[in-house]
Amino acid sequence: MKKYLIYGIALIVFTNIFILGGVFYNRSGEPTAQLVLSEREARLPYLSGFEKENSGVGLSISWRALANKKDELAYYNNRSINLTKQQLIALGFTELEISEDGWAQERTLFFALEYNGEHYQKSLANAQSYYEKALARFELDTNDEQLKYAKERASEAYQQELHRNSRLFFLEAAQDYKTLATKYAAQSNIVIVKGNAKPYFNDYSKDHSLHLRALLVNRINVPAHFVETLASLKTSRGQTKPGYSVTVNWGKRLEPWIVDIQIN
């Protein structure tokens, strides 16, 4: 019994050393990227009571992709992009996986994400145009309840885009880190991360697309000394939160950690 206890303790110690070694390696040297995110991109958990904890608190990274069509809104959870067959093959998927009858497992790729840049401006402009068109239709017949409802929905979507939706957008995927790092080396608002994705074939439209499933690391642990700072901001789902900014570094393993949190 004592022998197994010693083995168990040794395994725990080794595991902790391995984990801490990975953290140390990730944070050694210059970070691969640094972004100052807002509460729109680094989101507080909805569950209450986290302010009582001094460990295990995390912020979720909120990101999205532009809508595939110009007349669609880039909804908060849009995670699909249209790609050609050749582009999917360039990402490492086989002809069979992307065929009409094919089936593919998720694969880990490198994602380039843009913060508060051209993609967000396109999404914002699209939401504004969507609202202005709905408003113009409503003004032709202000007694039409359906047009009134459509106008109100479009206004709400525009306000969400202005003030609440994430401004962290997917740009493109690649099989290797160097391709994206070289391409976006001069842009300080770009971060390269790892994420899982799989191809999809639409039998109706005959279009190919890439479904962006999730980031490999989508949660950033909050250091204990910042928990109290965030505790005063905790609100329930649907309520407006006061603003805060989170300085986040990404390291050699493309994993994030929090450098600073400031109340705006």
Q: Write out pLDDT tens, residues 75-117.
A: 556 788 999 999 999 999 988 888 766 678 899 999 999 999 9
Query: Mean pLDDT, the chain, as a whole number?
Result: 84
Percent over 90 (pLDDT), the chain: 62
3-class secondary structure, 125: helix
Query: Cα–Cα distance between 39 and 214 in angstroms, integer?
Result: 19
99 burial level (CB within 10 Å; 0-12, 13-18, 19+): middle
- Other beta carbons within 10 Å of 174: 18
Q: Is the pLDDT of residue 72 over 80?
A: no
**Structure-token pair, residue 256:** 């994030």
> What values do phi and psi take at 152, rounded to 5?
-65, -40
Ranges 155-159, 195-199, 231-235: which has the least confidence: 231-235
Q: Is 116 left (phi over 0), alpha (psi -120 to 50) or beta?
A: left
Residue 73: Cβ within 10 Å count: 21
* Phi, then psi, of 160 in degrees rounded to 5: -60, -45
What percent of the chain has pLDDT above 70?
A: 78
- Answer positive or negative: Cα dihedral of 108, 67, 200, 40: positive
Cα 115 from chain centre:
10
